[in-house]
């Protein structure tokens, strides 16, 4: 596991040497739990890539999942504008709450449309980096017409799977369609926000 970088304003621990850390699922963006870190647990989290807290009740460090195996693998840690709270984006390896629930607020941690925004950011980053090994970059380099053609192909395949009633294939083809649609939008200097704005105007 590679080490993690902390971004944001300089950290300010409270008088007891702790700082609250909000854990958010990196994919679904669902808030999973709230814990506390001191300097040592924060350093361990940054070094190991696994969330480590300071337990106020047990007065010791504890790595999340050390007993249950439901660890939290860190993608990113950000401090807030005052530097007195942390946002930890992580991938849970199982239920986060000790009760067995997905979150400590008894919510289902399910994928949502929020991931589309993250996918859009990934597509934009790939295009900007220009890595020839990236399928996204190769597709965009072939021109807008080629990207549009792919959207048409994926649209037809999605429709066919919907007509045949193969739900697994329908979901897979729909995913392909959404991905290529995002690439087409970016290739035309548009975004999902532009599409959503149109839908909102129509709704009103």
- Contact call for residues 28 and 114 (beta carbons, < 8 A): yes
Residue 2: its pLDDT value, please?
61
Report d(CA 87, CA 21) in Å as an integer.
6
The CATH H-level (homologous superfamily) assignment of domain 6-92 is: Phosphoribosyl-AMP cyclohydrolase (3.10.20.810)
Over 90: is that where the pLDDT of 4 sits?
Answer: no
Over 80: is that where the pLDDT of 76 sits?
Answer: yes
pTM (2 decimals)?
A: 0.67
Please give the CATH architecture assigned to the domain spanning 114-203: Orthogonal Bundle (1.10)
Report d(CA 29, CA 87) in Å as an integer.
11
Over 90: is that where the pLDDT of 1 sits?
Answer: no
Using one digit for the tens of pLDDT, what is the confidence trace for 27-59?
A: 888 999 999 999 999 999 999 999 999 999 999
Parts of the chain belonging to CATH 3.10.20.810: 6-92
**Measuring CA to CA, which residue among 199, 45, 44 is closest to residue 113?**
199
> At 105, is the pLDDT very low, low, confident or very high (cuts 50, 70, 90)?
very high
Report d(CA 110, CA 190) in Å as an integer.
28
Residue 117: its pLDDT value, please?
86
Parts of the chain belonging to CATH 1.10.287.1080: 114-203
Q: Quick one: average pLDDT of 53-81?
A: 96
């Amino acid at each position: 596991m590679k080490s993690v970088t902390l971004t944001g304003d300089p950290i300010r621990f409270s008088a007891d040497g702790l700082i609250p850390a909000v854990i958010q699922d990196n994919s679904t963006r669902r808030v999973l739990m709230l814990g506390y870190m001191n300097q040592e647990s924060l350093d361990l989290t940054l070094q190991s890539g696994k969330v480590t807290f300071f337990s106020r009740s047990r007065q010791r460090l504890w790595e999340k999942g050390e007993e249950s195996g439901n660890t939290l693998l860190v993608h990113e840690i950000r401090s807030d504008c005052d530097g007195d709270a942390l946002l930890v984006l992580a991938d849970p390896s199982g239920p986060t709450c000790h009760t067995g629930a997905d979150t400590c607020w008894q919510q289902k941690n399910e994928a949502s449309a929020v991931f589309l925004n993250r996918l859009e950011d990934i597509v934009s980053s790939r295009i900007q980096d220009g890595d020839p090994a990236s399928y996204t970059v190769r597709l965009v380099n072939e021109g807008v017409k080629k990207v549009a053609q792919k959207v048409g192909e994926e649209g037809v395949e999605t429709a066919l799977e919907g007509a045949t009633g193969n739900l697994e294939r329908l979901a897979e083809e729909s995913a392909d369609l959404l991905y290529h649609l995002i690439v087409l939008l970016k290739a035309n200097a548009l975004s999902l926000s532009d599409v959503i704005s149109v839908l909102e105007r129509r709704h009103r």
